[in-house]
């Protein structure tokens, strides 16, 4: 095993902290900024920093030419963040969508609101299962079927409320977008990767395991008709495998695996479990938006060259830093909220111990 990755955690405003980092010294930026939604009343999620071109300009400066930036965003607000990233000088290359099935709708019951405005108070009704006539914003399946032990808001009372029974104001959240941006290259991709080690994606390192679907006996017979490309590659008349033994090409969709069928074609990562959130912390992780470790490992592996350094301007609970450690990368994390520093320290220590104690094969370099 190579030397342990170096992790540098800094407390303060990330704009000021990044300003102290030397230019072109970071290989990749993987970050989970505030979604600017005021989540759970947290002030850090309503500051506007994700839209600050100054922040992304500093990120551009510290990245090596061709370095990638992956930034999570909220479905309602990521467009403004993406615009700020582009205005800072990045090239928007793509977007990745993390799909999950566990989101909960935060919808306003229109029928209930109409009754309330009219002073018509509904009777609270408890269901142990079966059919509920009320709009099902309290745990049903959206078609009026209540879940065991669910408390409903009762039946619509006024005629106006009955007319708008079943109407709400929001869809169930089921995905989060990730902006994929790149600092402009110097010259060609080939020249840039050789000079700076950045500019390309680690396709083979992020391939999707095909499992039982992989069949090495399936081949494609190439044409015997002369063709410039075939002649140059020596493939005229040859038989080549249809499938890559390393797995499927990584896609711009990631799923939590809650649906089978075609999801085998994509990388999947479920939401972080309680055990994962608190690894090394003795149940002290109070951060409300912890990303799955498998997801962050996949992302840092996709965009960071071997031995590279990952920057996380919004360290939060430290998941990106932990992912970097387990993947063998150095990391720099900035975090404004002092209360989260012990969480980061505990998780980083856990990751370093995991990497030191587990077989090297578990942690690809």
Q: What distance in Å separates the CA atoms of residue 39 and residue 45, rounded to the nearest whole number?
A: 6
Chain CA centroid to CA 153, Å:
35
Report pLDDT for 295. Answer: 94
Report pLDDT for 350. Answer: 92
The encoded tokens of residue 234 equal 């020596």
Domain 7-103+173-209+249-362 maps to which CATH number in 3.40.50.300, 3.30.930.10, 3.40.50.1820, 3.40.50.150?
3.40.50.150
Q: What distance in Å separates the CA atoms of residue 97 and residue 278, rounded to the nearest whole number?
A: 26
Three-state SS at 63: strand
Start and end residues for every CATH 3.40.50.150 domain found in the chain: 7-103+173-209+249-362
Q: Strand 26-31 vs strand 219-221: parallel, antiparallel, or unpaired?
A: unpaired
List Cα–Cα distances, 331 to 26, 212, 257, 307, in angstroms: 9, 36, 29, 10
Q: What distance in Å separates the CA atoms of residue 338 and residue 323, rounded to the nearest whole number?
A: 21
Q: What distance in Å separates the CA atoms of residue 85 and residue 111, rounded to the nearest whole number?
A: 41
- Phi, psi torsion values for 205, nearest 5 degrees: -75, -10
Q: Which residues of the chain have pLDDT under 50?
A: 1, 129-151, 261, 361-365
3-25 burial code (b ≥16 CB/10 A, e <16)? eebebebbeeebbebbeebeeee
- Residue spans of beta strands (DSSP E) within the chain: 7-11, 26-31, 63-72, 91-99, 125-127, 150-152, 175-182, 219-221, 239-241, 253-255, 267-268, 309-312, 330-335
For residues 310 and 324, the answer to whether their CB atoms sit within 8 Å is yes
Can you give the pTM of this predicted structure?
0.81
Q: What distance in Å separates the CA atoms of residue 198 and residue 182, rounded to the nearest whole number?
A: 10
Q: What distance in Å separates the CA atoms of residue 325 and residue 354, rounded to the nearest whole number?
A: 9
For residues 301 and 205, the answer to whether their CB atoms sit within 8 Å is yes
> DSSP code of 194?
H
């Amino acid at each position: 095993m190579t030397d342990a990755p170096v992790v540098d955690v800094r407390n303060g405003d990330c704009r000021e902290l990044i300003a102290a980092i030397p230019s072109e010294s970071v290989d990749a930026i993987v970050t989970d900024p505030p979604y600017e939604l005021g989540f759970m009343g947290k002030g850090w999620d309503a500051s506007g920093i994700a839209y600050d071109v100054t922040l992304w300009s500093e990120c551009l400066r510290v990245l090596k030419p061709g370095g990638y930036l992956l930034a999570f965003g909220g479905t309602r607000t990521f467009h403004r963040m993406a615009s700020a990233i582009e205005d800072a000088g990045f090239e928007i290359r793509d977007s990745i969508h993390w799909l999950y099935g566990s989101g909960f709708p935060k919808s306003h019951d229109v029928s209930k609101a109409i009754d309330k405005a009219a002073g018509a108070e509904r009777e609270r009704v408890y269901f142990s299962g079966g059919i509920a006539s009320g709009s099902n914003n309290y745990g049903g399946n959206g078609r009026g079927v209540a879940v065991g032990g669910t408390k409903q808001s009762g039946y619509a009372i006024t005629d106006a409320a009955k007319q708008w029974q079943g109407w709400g104001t929001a869809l169930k959240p089921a995905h989060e977008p990730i902006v994929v941006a790149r600092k402009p290259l110097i010259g060609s991709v080939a020249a840039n990767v050789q000079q700076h080690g950045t500019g390309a994606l680690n396709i083979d390192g992020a391939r999707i395991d095909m499992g039982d679907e992989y069949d090495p006996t399936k081949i494609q017979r190439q044409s015997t008709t002369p063709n410039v490309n075939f002649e140059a590659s020596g493939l005229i008349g040859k038989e080549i495998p249809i499938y890559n033994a390393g797995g499927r090409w990584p896609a711009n969709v990631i799923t939590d695996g809650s649906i089978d069928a075609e999801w085998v074609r994509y990388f999947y990562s479920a939401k972080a479990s309680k055990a994962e959130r608190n690894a090394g912390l003795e149940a002290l992780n109070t951060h409300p938006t912890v990303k799955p470790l498998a997801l962050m490992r996949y992302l840092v592996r996709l965009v960071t060259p071997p031995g590279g350094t990952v920057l996380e301007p919004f360290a939060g609970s430290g998941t990106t830093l932990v992912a970097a450690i387990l993947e063998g990368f150095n990391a720099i994390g900035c975090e404004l909220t002092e209360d989260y520093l012990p969480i980061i320290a505990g998780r980083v220590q856990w990751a370093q111990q995991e990497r030191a104690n587990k077989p090297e094969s578990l942690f690809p370099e």
